[in-house]
Amino acid sequence: MIVHVGSEVSPQALDAAARRLGLTAIGSENLALSGGRLVHFRITNGQVADVVRMLEAEKIGIAQPNYIFQLQQDAHAAAPLKGDPAQYVIEKLHLRDAHAIASGANVTVAVIDSLVDVAHPDLAGSITGQFDAVAAADKPDEHGTGMTGAIAAHRRLLGVAPRTRILAIHAFSPDAHHPQQATTQSIIAGIDWAVAKGARIINMSFAGPYDPMLQLALKKAHDKGVVLVAAAGNMGPQSPPLYPAADENVIAVTAVDESDRLMPQANQGAHVALAAPGVNVLEAAPRGTYNFTTGTSVAAAHVSGVAALIMERNPSIDPAALEEALFSTAHDLGAPGRDTMFGYGLVDPYRALNALEAKAVAGRGQPETTASVPTDEVAIGTAHPKPPPGAAALVSGAPAAPIGPATPPAARTGAVPSASELTVSGIAPPASAPSIASAPAATASEESPVTIEKTRQACRQDAAARGVSASEMPDYIAVCVSEARLSCLKRAVAQKVRGAERHDFMNRCLIQPSAWQNSIKYQRTSQGLPAGLTGAPGDAAGAPASYPARR
């Protein structure tokens, strides 16, 4: 399990609580993003759920399981490697035309993955920083190498943004019983280090269960202007949403083949934002070799590369404006408009770059920057992190300390969590956590009070239909209203509705629940965990038993 403690908690107080509960400290690190400290414990007696409750009663910090996340890629596709085959991605994404405008120069992209082969010829000169979040003597892995190559390859292969600066974060590591996997602790350490090192984009080609501490780290990074991109997952259309892709601050990417057909095993859902090539893609592999690879992992890496191209042309662009550029220029696939299979459609870097250039010509002679985004847009989208039911209290009780100085995390141990650290059944929200309903409202609103009240009534009816208990009803309604506003705002941004028209658009959207209810990411829960991710004793990942080891 892991515990986040604020700077006001002394090491002596934490050690005393650990002794009372029979906890053995494995390691700890300071987090610049939160201004607190993350401590990794192994439990010697009892289950994680019981110890989480007891530690929360001590009112020392926020505790949770050290969740496991897994890479979203098939390492080898069936296609053979013959000589020097052309990459269909180059033509598919019009990369040569796009590179005549931008190639990702001076943009820093962090890749949180397995160990990258930094000596690969296609990555020569691209790796400007490395961080080991697991302190394990691993060999370079094809997943991390392939994802990095999809973004920055520039010799035999051509990455989407071949002149980017890559921060390679080694957060995934195998052990004797499991393939490449990472824990909450190693991923958060990677995010913290990446932000401290100036990453503008973070690529996350992995997936796992809903994770409150990871959610808060993502929000901190997003609030600092970092663009977050993640693989939607390869669990199939019946899978519940996987994280971090399903987080509201993350761009979720699915995979299509050369003919724009959806990869059959790709996750689906209202959170899917974009599609990108992800089937039989030729990528770099360790020891100077090359492999074909398939999955939403490489699709996510392609979108991270496109984001880097946009940032080169407009270095001051914020995440909301960048998302608008990506979403509004994507080629619609499937049902008209945004859908649960392809999101807004196939990403198009050349079209996105041209759209930026057109705005520069039509506007003030320069691309649109953060100054042109109304403050209420940012406030609505970031007023409070969004948990599923049953986890609201746990999330809202997280530390609210100011972001500390940008210093790298302390050295970490490479211990692999045991099953006793990760059993997640029966976790209850801490009694000491404040209600999410008390979260501060957005600083400005584009909707009338009557509209907001109607939205609350619709959310109340939705909660009743879902069987939400009376005690959880206020939290549910508060988050539901926030999500409804965010969903309508995203539609307004995608449709370029601004100024006086935005007020009418938001009011019309909110009084039509059909316009936003499908985007609410709530699932029925059991014991405070998202549907389909409720663990059982001995279920180390807190995920379905059928979780593939590597995708």
Task: Please identify every residue annotated as catalytic.
Answer: 113, 143, 297
CA nearest neighbour of 519 among 492, 473, 476, 484: 484
Query: Tokens representing 443?
Result: 């600083």
In angstroms, the Cα distances linking 441 to 336, 381, 492, 513 are 34, 11, 20, 21
* Amino acid identity at 487: S
- Please list the alpha-helical segments (H only) found in 10-152: 11-21, 48-57, 88-92, 95-99, 142-152
Tokens of 21: 């509960």
List the beta strands (DSSP E) in 206-358. 206-207, 227-231, 250-256, 272-277, 281-285, 289-293
Alpha carbon of residue 278 to chain centroid: 18
Secondary structure of residue 309 in the 3-state scheme: helix
Can the peptide bond before residue 244 be classed as cis, meaning omega within 30 degrees of 0? yes
Calpha distance 537→48 (Å, rounded) = 10
Show Cβ contacts of residue 454 under 8 Å, excluding neighbours closer than 6 positions. 510, 511
In whole angstroms, give the CA distance from residue 511 to residue 249: 25
- Burial of 91: CB neighbours in 10 Å, binned 0-12, 13-18, 19+: exposed
**What is the C-alpha separation between 428 and 527, in angstroms, rounded?**
6
- Answer whether 459's CB lies under 8 Å from 477's CB: yes
Per the structure block, which two tokens stand in for 253?
Answer: 């990417």
